């Protein structure tokens, strides 16, 4: 043993770093700290933070905002070959959007037993109504992502 | 028997008429013909048609667009006390958004075994991760809504 702390299971990829950065910005803006990034090849084509309060938008989760920006950037509603990185397990709304957008690979940091719909609850990608299933990877950056959320809600209690 | 055709089970409410009208407009624009309206009290505060192609937006379902417009109109991400009318059973993305928006009552015309997530598949409102469940009513306007969709896809085959 050379190190005292727990080693991360793998290094945090740059797009997840960008998503975590967006999550920190959301917290500073008083929004629930979740961030997302869409990548095509080696290029990040969209980064977005959760923003449901200002302007008021019940659909303003980081994933939805990043997918919309990415579609606008490439001029196509189908983000074929693109990957999405997000700091929290997507909810049903966002998992559905990820499928509609034809995202190839979904990477999420922290799992969300209370609101997630990938490995919990609605399990959107496992339904036969789901016409496109991304590959799913999780865990990279989860410690930072989860601590950011815990800190945010702790301050507001 | 006074009438030859099958009588509708109930008259189509005005907001569903508005949603059907939006669905017709979507068809004319080459978009999958689905429409939605958000109502507060007796007032329609948002009407939207499905628009995923122009501009490209994988999240541009009628429900999402109507919820965003309604939140902007009332200046609150929570559409407490508002009802949503839509011509087709919502998918997982839209059912999730309806829950996030705190919609009180959801009325949909046609059910959608292939993509729906209310009475099919993900059954978003039945999951314990779903923090707000609207009352759900279906069937009003279903003949017109379903025929509009069938006609649209028939022409494109």
Q: What is the mean pLDDT of each run of 10 residues along chain B (157 residues)?
A: 53 96 97 98 96 96 98 98 98 98 98 98 98 97 97 90
CB A110 within 8 A of CB A79: no
| Entry pTM | 0.94
CB B63 within 8 A of CB B94: yes
Task: Place A103 in a pLDDT band, splitting at 50, 70 and 90.
Answer: very high
Quote the pLDDT of residue A1: 39
| Probe site for chain A from B54, B56, B101 (most A CB atoms < 10 A) | B56
pLDDT tens, A36-58?
999 999 899 999 999 999 999 99
Residue A82 marked ligand-binding? no
Q: Is the pLDDT of residue A4 over 80?
A: no
- Using the Cβ of A54 and the Cβ atoms of chain B, whether some distance falls under 8 Å is answered with no
Q: Is the pLDDT of residue A3 over 60?
A: no
Quote the pLDDT of residue A6: 56
Q: Give the integer Cα–Cα distance in Å for A58 and A9.
A: 34
Count helices and strands (H / E) in chain B: 4, 5
Quote the pLDDT of residue B1: 39
Q: Give the integer Cα–Cα distance in Å for B96 and A99.
A: 14
Nearest to A95 among B64, B92, B115 (CB): B92
Q: Return the CATH class of domain B14-155.
A: alpha beta
Mean pLDDT of A129-144: 97
Quote the pLDDT of residue B7: 55
| Probe site for chain B from A96, A111, A131 (most B CB atoms < 10 A) | A96
- Using the Cβ of B41 and the Cβ atoms of chain A, whether some distance falls under 8 Å is answered with no
Strand partners, A37: A47, A85
Domain ranges of chain A: 14-155
Quote the pLDDT of residue A5: 52
């Amino acid at each position: 043993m050379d190190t005292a702390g727990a080693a991360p299971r793998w290094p945090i990829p740059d797009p997840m770093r960008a998503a975590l950065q967006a999550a920190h910005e959301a917290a500073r803006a008083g929004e629930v700290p979740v961030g997302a990034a869409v990548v095509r090849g080696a290029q990040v084509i969209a980064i977005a933070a959760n923003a449901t309060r200002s302007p008021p938008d019940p659909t303003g989760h980081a994933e939805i905002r990043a997918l919309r920006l990415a579609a606008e950037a490439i001029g196509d509603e189908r983000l074929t070959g693109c990957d999405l990185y997000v700091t929290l397990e997507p909810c049903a709304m966002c998992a559905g959007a990820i499928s509609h957008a034809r995202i190839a690979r979904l990477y999420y940091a922290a799992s969300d037993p209370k609101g997630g719909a990938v490995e919990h609850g609605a399990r959107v990608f496992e339904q036969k109504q789901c016409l496109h299933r991304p590959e799913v990877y999780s865990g990279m950056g989860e410690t930072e992502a989860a601590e950011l959320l815990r800190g945010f809600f702790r301050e507001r209690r």
